[in-house]
Amino acid sequence: MTQVKQQEIHLANRPKGMPSKEDFNFVESSVPTPKEHEILVRTLYLSVDPYMRGRMQDAKSYIAPFELNKVIAGGVVAEVVVSRSDAFKQGDVVVGNLSWAEYTVASEREIRKVDPKMAPVSTHLGILGMPGLTAYFGLLDIGKPQEGETVVVSGAAGAVGSAVGQIAKIKGAKVVGIAGSDEKIDYLLNELGFDAAVNYKKDSFQADLKNALPDGVDVYFDNVGGDVSDAVFKHLNRNARVPLCGAISSYNAEGKDSGPRIQSTMIKTSSLMKGFTLGDYAADFSVGATDLGKWLQQGKLKYEETIVEGFENTPEAFLGLFKGTNLGKQLVKVANPEYAKL
């Protein structure tokens, strides 16, 4: 039997500062053969996410670092090619945290079947997947927006941020988004119905933000950290809540990430700040997924995807996250389905 060849992507270096294409290595390997209770899947879409930058460093965190010269892993939607499990059959569409490879063997526990009739399968990497659930739990469990309150979200046009703003609107809050291009501001205001949106790259950012916040900030969902967050902190109301989801502005910082200390502001306002990762809410995933699916079907949640075509363009798609080239969820389309009916 001929060994069929495929490509997979390895971590070539632990980058200092901004990563580059040279930090990724395309390696040819044989398509693996599933053992009993295993499933061979073919990647249809893969997800590139800001949090993966942290896994490229060899540092203690909530998730283990990627290993040097080993395959990188992330969110993947795939179709089943060969199943040696009773739980899956050829043509099933599955989602899981799997290798950046054209083909992968997964164990039964690593993947979960999704219904292609419910929504486009790519949504399981976005609005119905990790970013959507991250928005859902961070906003509702930590932010706890009340009707009429003001919710600010940074990285507002990204996969998490756009979901945060819309869920806050569903809960009756006034929503102000912060993003980095006129196109994104237009999207937030005219597609997603945000009450205000501010471009942090403009010289007038501080004044624009102040104008957008006549009633201050009750909830600040922070995806970016850095100067943008420093600006928002000036407007915290009494008993404000700050879910800390990401700090993309610092992920590629080589020196120290320094800025004004926020403790005095938090004391004066009795504000709360809490870091979280989606894993904190593993026990409640089904509750979140049910709500998100319902809102999506009711048309209350919209989403945007920026799709790069071709497995070979995965590093470029990942690097684009730090330049803010994506609107909504950044995906890579790796293959058209051969067995699945989408």
Contacts with a copy of itself, residue ranges (CB under 8 A):
54, 60-62, 222, 225-226, 229, 238, 244-247, 250, 256-277, 280
Q: Give residue 144's identity as a one-letter amino acid code.
A: K
CB of 326 to a copy of itself, least distance (A): 21
Residue 270 or 290 with smaller CB distance to a copy of itself: 270
CB of 268 to a copy of itself, least distance (A): 5
Residue 263 or 298 with smaller CB distance to a copy of itself: 263
SS3 state of residue 41: strand
CB of 215 to a copy of itself, least distance (A): 15
- Rounded CA-CA distance 13/7 in Å is 18
Q: What are phi and psi of 178, to 5 degrees?
A: -120, 125
DSSP strand pairing (24-30 vs 93-99)? unpaired
Residue 110 or 280 with smaller CB distance to a copy of itself: 280
Q: From 120, 126, 183, 124, select the one nearest 160 (Cα to Cα).
A: 126
For 219-230, give the DSSP string: EEEBSS-HHHHH
Compute, in degrees rounded to 10, the torsion defined by CA atoms 253, 132, 156, 211.
Answer: -120
Residue 150 or 271 with smaller CB distance to a copy of itself: 271
CB of 310 to a copy of itself, least distance (A): 32
- Which residues are CB-contacts of 175 (< 8 A; sequence separation ≥ 6)? 150, 151, 152, 153, 165, 168, 169, 194, 195, 196
CB of 230 to a copy of itself, least distance (A): 8
Residue 84 or 234 with smaller CB distance to a copy of itself: 234
Residue 148 or 260 with smaller CB distance to a copy of itself: 260
Render the burial of 139-165: b for 16+ CB within 10 Å, e for the rest: bbbbbebeeebbbbbbbbbbbbbbbbb
β-strand partners of 93: 79
CB of 244 to a copy of itself, least distance (A): 5
CB of 278 to a copy of itself, least distance (A): 10
CB of 220 to a copy of itself, least distance (A): 11
Q: From 37, 34, 33, 32, select the one nearest 85 (Cα to Cα).
A: 37
Residue 263 or 336 with smaller CB distance to a copy of itself: 263
CB of 86 to a copy of itself, least distance (A): 37
- Rounded CA-CA distance 334/338 in Å is 12
- Which residues are CB-contacts of 231 (< 8 A; sequence separation ≥ 6)? 200, 205, 206, 209
Q: From 241, 238, 177, select the one nearest 212 (Cα to Cα).
A: 177
Local structure of residue 61 (DSSP, 8 states): S
Residue 62 or 342 with smaller CB distance to a copy of itself: 62
SS3 state of residue 21: helix
Residue 5 or 62 with smaller CB distance to a copy of itself: 62
